[in-house]
Amino acid sequence: MTGLKAEGQLSGKVAMVTGGGRGIGRAVALAFAREGADLCVVARTQAQVESVAGEVRALGRRALAVTADVTDPAQVERMAARVKEAFGRVDVLVNNAGGGIERRTVLESDPDLWVKDVTVNLISAYLVTRALLPLMIETGGGRVINVGSGMGHQAGAGQSAYRVGKAGLWMLTRCLAEEVWSYGIDVNELIPGPVATPLTQGRMQAGGPPPFAPSERVKTPEEVAQLAVYLAAQPRGGPTAQSFSLARRPL
**Bridge pairing between strands 14-18 and 38-43:** parallel
The count of C-alpha atoms lying within 13 angstroms of the C-alpha of 158, restricted to the half-sphere facing its C-beta, is: 3
SS3 of residue 20 by DSSP: coil
Contact yes or no for 100/119 (Cβ under 8 A): no
How far apart, in Å, are the Cα atoms of 198 and each of 6, 25, 34, 123, 209?
33, 12, 23, 23, 17
Q: What gap in Å lies between CA 80 and CA 66, rounded to an integer?
A: 10
End-to-end CA distance of the chain: 47
- Quick one: CA dihedral 151, 155, 161, 165, positive or negative? positive
| List of residues 6+ apart from 141 with CB closer than 8 A | 183, 184, 185, 186, 236
Cβ atoms of residues 220 and 196 within 8 Å: yes
Residues annotated as catalytic (active site), given as ranges: 162
Alpha-carbon gap, residue 68 to 46, rounded angstroms: 9
Question: Strand pairing partners for 188?
Answer: 145
Length of the chain: 251
CA–CA separation, 121 vs 39, rounded Å? 22
